[in-house]
A and B are shown apart, each in its own frame.
Chain A
Amino acid sequence: MFAAATSGLAKNTSFKVVLPFYFYAALCFLFASILLIFSSAAFTQHYFHPYTLTVTHAMALGWGTMIILGASHQLVPVLIEGALFSDFLAYCSFIAAALGIPLLLYGFYHFDFSVFTKAGAILINLAIIFYLVNLAVSMARSKKENVHAIFVFTAALWLLITTLLGLLLLYNFTSNILSNDSLYYLPVHAHIGVIGWFLLMVMGVGSRLIPLFLISKYHNEKLLWWIFILINLALIIFIFNFLFSFYPVINFFCVGAIALAIGLFGYYCRKAYQQRLRRKVDGQLRISLLSIAFMVIPVVLSIVLIILSFYFVENNSVVLAYGFCIFFGWITAIILGMTFKTLPFILWNRTYHHRSAVQKTPNPKDLFNSRVFNMMAVAYLIGFVVFLIGIFGGFIYVLQVGAVCIFLSAILFNLNIFKMVIHKPDSK
């Protein structure tokens, strides 16, 4: 038997780096959905409520951020066409975040901003710094820079600004270090996170992956640069307006710019879809594409909020619906779809890469149960709509029914993840 050689194969990120992020995020989604059932009544009260804060941070940090961090350790090499600098930094990032998030959530739930809550926030900031350093060195070492990588790096920078501001707000609760109370600064903290981190990240990665999955010939780098400029410009103007002047009219401009960016991104995805070679689009990609439509709801609600601010009116249910549509709508929809577009391949590769063309292997999509996936998607969509109706109507029972449906979708999501992880190859 002769030895065989393969040259030119790039080193990919190990699955061991990525998987902990996915598991942690899946459990956080389950935890947040349980909390949603038992804290439904909080969604009929003021949005600055311990339970609402806990659910929001469980979704934003434990669910959205953790799964994006995990997936990006795998996908960044694809975007920058270079290897991830350090697996060790990725592990450090996971451990710091995994320890910090429960401490922070416990603090929010009990409305206790003692040393443990602050330690949690510090650990989360450390996790983001590890991630940012890993990203920066990986990009610096890569031969090729492109618009997608710039999106991802800028998003990570905004994430660090969000978590640093969050830490500052936490200290401001106990010792007045800012000129206003922490509640006053919440909109800036939340929007830097949602627009700067989530929106930029989803667009940067999505603009690369959606054409890749559809096998589409469409690519328009100029359009992506315009989207990048619009989002960052709108966010910077929003921050300065909030901190130094506060003219609601300027916020209209910011929402307009973000809406235009989302519209352009929708156009980009539509063109990629139209010019695809792969005619059959699977359920996972369909739910991810649906999440782009979900972006429109928060935009509409933000316009309503600005109009209300002209009359110095603050409508709690609109604010709560706005946050709910972002975290349980848009972000959750894209994660539910993209998890089953990335994780089966990571796990398939772990089990079968040496067996390829030696024996019959299943398809990566056979690693999870597609019926369970469909049931999860239906439970999620029903839960989302029912809970939203409950927020606007202020009906606790409706909120609980919606929360139970979302909990069911979280259970089904975790079941499928578990099924994939315990998958063993057929010994025959």
Chain B
Amino acid sequence: MNEITNDNDKCAIALEALHHVIDPEIGLNIVDLGLIYQLDFDEKTKIIYCTMTLTTQFCPMGESISDGAKNCLENTFEGYQININLTFDPPWNADKISPEGQQFLN
């Protein structure tokens, strides 16, 4: 993940929760896969902005992965609205997989 967030404590909780969202094809969680780019927390409007990507733009599993991230954050942060922003700039590549993720794949 690009270490961009406006609340490091909440971001750590969110990332911990997002570890439970698994890419069904690869079997690896979306955090270690490097799909989460940014997490921002707007305390005034109670909105969490999650900027993330997919391994490929028209990934057939895209909806389930983004729905998974949304469901997971909703359950973790009750009372917050979740705004998932899918971006493909920069596009995902294998270099974004964390060392833990690489170890899992090995």
Q: Give residues in A with beta carbon < 8 Å to B.
A: 2-10, 12, 74, 77-78, 81-83, 212-213, 215-217, 277-279, 345-346, 348-349, 352-354, 356-358, 361, 363-364
Contact = CB atoms under 8 A, between A and B. Distances in A.
B72 interface: yes
A213 B27 CA distance: 12
A132 B10 CA distance: 50
15 contacts: A3-B81, A5-B83, A5-B84, A10-B58, A12-B62, A74-B60, A78-B57, A81-B56, A213-B25, A277-B106, A278-B105, A356-B21, A357-B21, A363-B27, A364-B24
A346 B83 contact: no
A2 B85 contact: no
A12 B63 contact: yes
Given A4-B82, A5-B81, 15 more contacts: A2-B46, A4-B83, A6-B70, A6-B85, A8-B86, A82-B58, A212-B56, A213-B25, A217-B95, A345-B60, A352-B64, A353-B67, A357-B67, A358-B75, A364-B25
A82 B58 CA distance: 7
Contacts of B79: 2
Given A78-B56, A78-B58, A346-B60, A277 B67 contact: no
A20 to B, nearest CB: 17
A357 B26 contact: no
Contact of A10 (B62, B68, B72): B62
Give chain B's interface residue range (CB within 8 Å of chain A): 35 or more
A126 B59 CA distance: 30
Contacts of B60: 12, 74, 78, 345-346, 349
B21 A6 contact: no
Interface string B43-79: 0001000000001111111111111111110110001
A277 B27 CA distance: 13
B72 to A, nearest CB: 4
B68 A277 contact: no
B102 A363 contact: no
A74 B56 CA distance: 13
Nearest to A7: B85
Contact of B84 (A7, A10, A353, A356): A7
Given A81-B58, A277-B102, A349 B21 contact: no
Contacts of B72: 357
B83 to A, nearest CB: 5
Nearest to A3: B81
Q: Is the interface of A mostly helix, strand, loop or mixed?
A: loop
Contact of A2 (B55, B66, B81): B81
B26 A77 contact: no
Contacts of B75: 357-358
A354 B66 CA distance: 10
B8 interface: no
A99 to B, nearest CB: 28
B58 A83 contact: yes
A300 to B, nearest CB: 35
B24 A77 contact: no
Contacts of B82: 2, 4-5
Contact of B65 (A2, A216, A356, A361): A356
Contact of B70 (A4, A8, A83): A4
A358 B80 CA distance: 16
Contacts of B87: 8
A325 B60 CA distance: 32
